Amino acid sequence: MKSLNAKEFKKKLISITSQDPALCYQCGKCSAGCPVRDFEEAPPNRIVRYVQLGLYEKAMTSSTIWLCAGCQTCTSRCPQQFDLAKFMDAVRELAIAYGVKSADKKTQEFHEAFLNQIENFGRAYEMGLLIDYKLKSKDFFQDVTLAPSTFSKGKLNLLPHMVKNKKQIKKIFKESGEVKK
């Protein structure tokens, strides 16, 4: 892991999220409504608390940041309008920038494969995501029996749907890469 400068970490976090973690007063509404809470080792509000206390490494090594579905349930429930989903994404991206790896390697591989699809196509391209993830994880046969039914239901398109102005998406990824440095 790269050496961690506390002031630099907090400055980057605030720059990415445009919000101060001090806004959170730990009411717990976010954690109470989190649909993946049963799978996390720490509730989402505890990750914010780690950051508030300067325990940045503890926040970055938590499996919670990798399991966050980004569903916005926490954000919609927050009485302080603290965007916890955006915060979790920022902590995850800073963890990557600082060289912190997820304890579950496959979770991180999926995250990287998903971002790859967004960067290349402007949206999730399921077939590309599947191929990218399988190549990264080398877990080729885990869910092979699902393929026939997903194809027949039209869940996996062979070709991606392209968004307009892919250059703008590339620019966003380029600028976010500069933030990470």
Tens of pLDDT, residue by residue over 128-159, are 888 888 888 888 888 888 878 888 888 778 88
- Domain locations in the chain as residue ranges: 6-97, 105-180
- Residue 102 vs residues 35, 61, 62, 70, 108: alpha-carbon distances, Å: 20, 7, 8, 17, 6
Q: How far is CA 40 from CA 36, 47, 93, 141, 180, in A?
A: 7, 11, 18, 26, 25
Its pTM stands at: 0.69
Please state, in angstroms and as integers, the Cα–Cα distance from residue 8 to each residue in 11, 54, 67, 86, 91, following that order: 5, 12, 25, 19, 13
| Higher pLDDT among residues 21 and 41, named by residue | 21
Displacement of CA 138 from its chain's centroid (Å)? 21
**Chain segment 76-96, per-residue pLDDT in tens:** 999 999 999 999 999 998 998
